[in-house]
Amino acid sequence: MSPTGNWPAPFAPSTGRVYAYNEIRTHLPAEQLWQVLIDAAAWPRWYRNARNVSIDGGGQLEGSSTFTWTTFGLRVASTVREFAPYSRLAWEGAARGSSGYHRWDLQPTADGGTLIVTEEVQTGLIARLLGPAVKRSIEKQHQHWLEALVSTAEAGTKAL
């Protein structure tokens, strides 16, 4: 798949060492998915590759939020760079030997559902040395993340 939108120069998919793309379609509206996605402190409850999420100032993610978390075994310091409610969330993150840009796009579908696209570009030493393995790992975990996002949002609807 081709990258969506414009990317910050150091993270352009054409220049990054690793580019990962995943998508999933759901009958759920973007508004419902968004509420689950921006509640980063709750990610560890439903996405097994997120641990110890701490949002500076607490609350949910919003424009320019900073947060730290553990993912792929690394402690990552992240800053929200794009925040368009119900349509786009992206953050830049850095950990030992690596930096990345992770973007989520929620696109409405004709049937009232949503196409969720998640993309990530990684640069740095880890991406340079282990590029293909890093790409496979990211794509596998992001597919789990997408599926868990939809399941969690669905469960929230049933609980109402």
- The full set of domain ranges for the chain reads 17-159
Residue 6, pLDDT above cutoff 50: yes
pLDDT value of residue 3:
63
Task: Tell me, rounded to whole angstroms, the distance of Cα 65 from its chain centroid.
Answer: 14
pLDDT value of residue 160:
38
How many of the other CB atoms lie within 10 Å of CB of 31?
12
One of 3.30.1490.270, 3.40.50.2300, 3.30.1960.10, 3.30.530.20 is the CATH number of 17-159, namely 3.30.530.20
pLDDT value of residue 79:
98
Task: Tell me, rounded to whole angstroms, the distance of Cα 10 from its chain centroid.
Answer: 18
Q: Which helix (H) or strand (E) holds 20?
A: strand 18-26
As a whole number, the mean pLDDT across the chain is: 93
pLDDT value of residue 16:
72
Q: How confident is the model at residue 136 (pLDDT cuts 50, 70, 90)?
A: very high
Is the CB of residue 69 less than 8 Å from the CB of residue 76? Answer: yes
Handedness of CA 132, 135, 138, 141 (dihedral sign): negative
Determine the Cα–Cα distance for residues 102 and 118; give it in Å rounded to an integer.
7
pLDDT in tens, 82-124: 999 999 999 999 998 899 999 999 999 999 999 999 999 999 9
